[in-house]
Chain A
Amino acid sequence: MTPVGFSLEDAHITRAPITDSIISMRRRDFILLNATGLAAACLATPAVWAAPSAYARPGLLDLFRDDEQVRQIGRRYIEQHPAEAHTDALEHRLAQTLRGARNVESCIRNEFAHRETVQLNGWILARTEARQCALFALS
């Protein structure tokens, strides 16, 4: 099983509900889980390990097809929001935002619909995907 990433082109693959227990998991926990070979324990509940990777990997990577551009956007977000200049802060906010969301894609679309957007290097982006970029830039 491969980690399920958010993709703008393949939005249908991230439709697993994100539960409270999932979003409380930090990315480093996920890494640790994988590193210790315990990922297999999650196979029975794929959403448990799918969700963190879903927001750790920006879907904009698939759109831009340019990692450095995504990092630049992430760095610009951090410049504009210094209080979120740490992975913990970003993960916490992403987790809060995604709580109850059907998936990342729907969350992002919903933010666009409600003008919960930011402008970074001229790009009009949903706040969640901007935070994803910031997290990516810090990784």
Chain B
Amino acid sequence: MHTDARTLEDGSVIEGDICIIGAGAAGISMALEWKDTPYKVILLEGGSFQVEPRPQALYDGESVGQTYYPLQAVRLRAFGGTTGHWAGWCSPFEPLDFKKRDWVPDSGWPIDRAALDAFYPRAHSYVEIGPYAWDAAYWEAQDPDRQSLAFDKSRVWTKMWQFSPPTRFGLRYRDDIFRAENIHLYSNANVTRIDTNETAANVEGLTVRTFEGKTFSFRAKHYVMACGAWQNARLLLASNDRAPAGLGNQNDLVGRYFMEHLEVMCASMLLVNAPASMKMYEMKFFETKARGELSLSEEAQAENEVLNLTVTLHPRTLEPKDYPWLISRYPSDARFTVDRLDELQAEYEGAPGGAQTPDYLSGLREFQLQARMEQSPNRDSRVFLARETDELGMPRLTLDWRLTALEKHSLRRTFEVIGEEAGKVGLGRVQLLDWLTTDDPMWTPNLGGGWHHMGTTRMHDDPKQGVVDPNGTVHGIHNLHVASSSTFTTAGASNPTLTIIAMTMRLSDRLKGMMG
């Protein structure tokens, strides 16, 4: 069921069993997990059903650290959330990502990969990807043209990705949500504060506002914050009437440990021979179902003390001006990316016979190598409240994104290892780009990010080291939970969406158990 919050009477109090804040990938999948149950599920979305300037402006904020994209451009405040412009890349986190690594400060989740094994297949169905098969050998067997490069697999392996159509949650699941009798979606419902009891140990309600000046209260037994990493932190920090530092922030952790995936061109590779087919490494939007990228083995990462990353192969002819992730040129209008993807999809679907793109890697000997790398958890990389407020009176966010020497070391050393391994097996040679050949701490202006915001309410079993416990519940607040990449303790090399949904499934099951 759907209600436009603007039609509610000012001062309304609405009650349910579970209240979900944010209707993106996590919020919608969480709600659908409760479809046709005896429980009343409230799903609150700040925006409407399309990306509009006024709600987007609530995301505006200043960036004071490492240069970043305009803050309001990279997240979408509308039903479906940021899946409205995601590219559909899916891959599960690896066992390594959950482990404590001595060379990665503050690494180590309180859960291991096995804790998510049962939930990843369920997440597959929400993002509409293929079988729960992540071994390159499986995909090689499906198609003789899809073969991995002949690296020593104990050192450099081919990590598989699968591609969602991509599923635009706002379009794909709108009817399901509307028709579900026990799911109550409220659009244009902006949560501006989490209201607790005096000791801030129990959430008693949510204050919700509209641009028209109406204020409501939503109450439930359990509350799930399912916003992105920035907005989850912002809401906790801004809910400071009972907890002066903000909810869950008794140890000054909310907003800290902000992480991104670094996307940057690092090297080129020259192969001895052009492989008969490079289909394994190609990705054509809206067509490719699975492809591989290069990655260092767990053993090689440990030996070289580097962060986890994957490597995309591009044609050597790609010029910096064509890099899609360039920060310096990115417009602040969030519609830009949405429109661009819509146009691409329309072009694709309008093409006679479907995909018309030629094999763009096959026949080549020369490639550019682009990294997609986790950043090290870093307490000083953070978002915090600004003095300026938005139209609804909430303090804006300021981003202070910071990188460390470990990131550059990891990029440099990883591509050196790939070069050594390519030479070892006689595959070819690798050349580092100039900016990566020195220990200079400066970054190339071609550094980009994946718009993957993680870590601001990190998971840890010790409240002094994490905001949420291993179940995703905010330490010290028994009925406030988080379903978001904001809980990620480390960022992994995989894009976060699939893992966000898997963790949402896990939280959902737990909440069902708590509800009896």
Contact = CB atoms under 8 A, between A and B. Distances in A.
Interface string B384-427: 00000000000000000000000000000001100111111110
A63 B428 contact: yes
B270 A64 contact: yes
A8 interface: yes
Contacts of A109: 423-426
B48 interface: no
Contacts of A9: 272-273
A122 B431 contact: yes
Interface stretch (A19-27, A77-85, A112-120): A112-120
Interface string B264-278: 000100101100000
A8 B426 contact: yes
A123 B421 CA distance: 13
A122 B432 contact: yes
A108 interface: yes
Nearest to A117: B420
Interface in A107-135: 108-109, 111-113, 115, 117, 119, 121-126
Nearest to A108: B423
Contacts of B421: 112
Contact of B272 (A8, A113, A117): A8
A34 B355 CA distance: 59
Contacts of B431: 121-124
A62 to B, nearest CB: 8
Contacts of A63: 270, 272, 428-429
Contact of B419 (A8, A64, A108, A124): A124
Given A9-B273, A64-B270, A126 B433 contact: no
Contact of A123 (B425, B429, B436): B429
Contacts of B505: none
A40 interface: no
A31 interface: no
Contacts of A42: none
A91 interface: no
B420 A115 contact: yes
Interface centre among A9, A115, A124, A125 (most CB of B within 10 A): A124
A109 B436 CA distance: 24
A122 B437 contact: yes
A10 to B, nearest CB: 10
Contacts of B437: 119, 122
B400 to A, nearest CB: 32
Contact of B426 (A60, A105, A111, A119): A105
A112 B426 CA distance: 10
A117 B267 CA distance: 17
Counting chain B CB atoms within 10 Å of each CB, which of A60, A63, A108, A109 scores highest? A63
Interface string A58-99: 001001100000000000000000000000000000000000
Contacts of A119: 416, 432, 437
Contact of A117 (B273, B415, B423, B428): B423
Contacts of A113: 420, 424
Nearest to B420: A112
Nearest to B272: A8
B102 interface: no
A126 B424 CA distance: 9
A117 B6 CA distance: 67
B439 interface: no
Interface of A: 8-9, 11, 60, 63-64, 105, 108-109, 111-113, 115, 117, 119, 121-126
9 contacts: A63-B272, A63-B429, A105-B426, A109-B424, A119-B416, A122-B433, A124-B416, A124-B430, A125-B429
- 5 shortest A-B CB distances, which residue pairs? A124-B419, A112-B423, A112-B424, A122-B431, A122-B432
